[in-house]
Amino acid sequence: MKEILSSSRTGDSCIHVKHKSGLDIFIAEMNGFSGVEAVFAAKYGSVNTMFRNRGDKDYTVVPEGIAHFLEHKLFENEDCEVFELYSKTGANGNAATSFDRTAYFFSCSKNYQENLKILLDFVQKPFFTQESVDKELGIIGQEIQMTNDNPDWRVMFNMLKCMFHTHPVKIDIAGTQESIAKITPELLYKCYDSFYNLNNMVLSVAGNVKADEVLAICDEYLRPCEDKGLELVFPDEPDTIVKSDIREKEEVGASIFTLGWKCRPASGIDRLKKNIAAAMAGELLTDVSSDMYQRLLREGVINSTFVYEVFSGDGFFSVMLNGETEQPDYVRESVVNEVKRLISEGISEKDFRRFQKGMYAGLVREMNDVENVANLMMSAYMDGVSPYDTIDLLTKLTPQDVHDFISSELSEDKLVLSVIERMDVQS
């Protein structure tokens, strides 16, 4: 099956192919660009710790951190490491595991066909032995320790642990020293066979490419897979938070904080709509021209690090404000009061249009970046939407939509404050 997806607003388009192997393929031929970005990704991340396939009697429960561990191991095969192969073709290759996806990617300005062959080949050739697993335990153990020592990482995960009772999003993506010690080659193969089935994956290619050339390579290298009917399950997550405040003291240059609301999760197009409304709410709360921002800035309470983030996925959704401050309680009080003001006074049409235009311009700019386009197509598949739905929904967003989101989701009783304080700051 082959279809052309396009944006009536920007004129951008891409090709979507449901390949006979089961893989969804997205290709954006970007004439006039010299670079190429390709992403081969699985719908598999750190939150997927419990699953079963069609025909399985029971659910398989795996150690936390195994998705990230598997990503590391796929970069090795029986002959050499994949980085060595890319170095010979001049490509820059890497991989990343997040909460709900694992992506393998490369960028290059030449030899894209050869690089695409490398990508498709090694991701479909798992090679796990007890010896290689034991070796990787030490490497990932060091990585876990490094992230534990990173205050920005810890302030976020401290917040997630206070926000979620049971959802595995509160667990570090790399797992813990104790959890990864339980990983075996057999478990890695079980996870690979379940999640790296091509029916659960996507290939996204953008830049100076020809669709026919990409598809010819796919025909040669993709191995047909039977859809195993993968079923995921998550523990029941209450609407409430665990607790509203958590603080640690560390030797940091400045105290940092994350202030996050636990919102109701959504999926598909509903989550995309919610993401856009949440982003607009974040813009309003961190707007440098707002009275709250300017007051806090004059008082020396915040600085330019005060920003927002919308954090969402399978079974979780949050709006977070991050920054540096020595007065986190005052920031929290100010933000809560600003939310109340927005609810009572409504959303300024002028401010709304300003942010809407800015967000629209940002999306248009991303359409002129090869890496962004490849990731846009990949993320759209993961989220069950079209690559151009975001820009279409943004234009249809209204001030009332944003007001409704703030009123229904940014509740004070769902708000968590996480702080990493400087050692010399008084409690």
Q: Which residues are catalytically annotated? A: 71
CA distance linking residue 25 with residue 38, whole number of Å: 11
Taking the CB of residue 220, how many other CB atoms lie within 10 A of it?
10
Instruction: Give the bridge partners for 37, in sequence order.
Output: 107, 206
Q: Which residue from 83, 60, 40 is spatially nearest to 196, judged by alpha carbons?
A: 40
CA distance linking residue 120 with residue 202, whole number of Å: 11
Q: Which residue from 150, 7, 10, 186 is spatially nearest to 158, judged by alpha carbons?
A: 150
From residue 82, give the alpha-carbon distance in Å to each of 22, 105, 374.
25, 11, 21
CA distance linking residue 33 with residue 359, whole number of Å: 24
| Rg, Å, the chain Cα set | 23
Apex CA 93: angle with CA 91 and CA 97, to 5°? 165
Burial class (CB in 10 A: 0-12, 13-18, 19+), 228: middle
**Cβ density class 28-57: b for 16+ within 10 Å, e for less:** bbbeebebbbbbbbbbbbbbbbebbeeeee
Apex CA 371: angle with CA 366 and CA 377, to 5°? 75
Q: Are strands 316-324 and 307-313 parallel, antiparallel or unpaired?
A: antiparallel
Residue 403 contacts residue 343 (beta carbons within 8 Å):
yes
Residue 117 contacts residue 91 (beta carbons within 8 Å):
no
Encoded amino acid at 345, one letter: E
Alpha helices in 25-169 (DSSP H): 66-74, 82-89, 112-123, 130-148, 151-163
**Cβ density class 286-314: b for 16+ within 10 Å, e for less:** bbeeeebbeebeeeebbeeebebbbbbbb
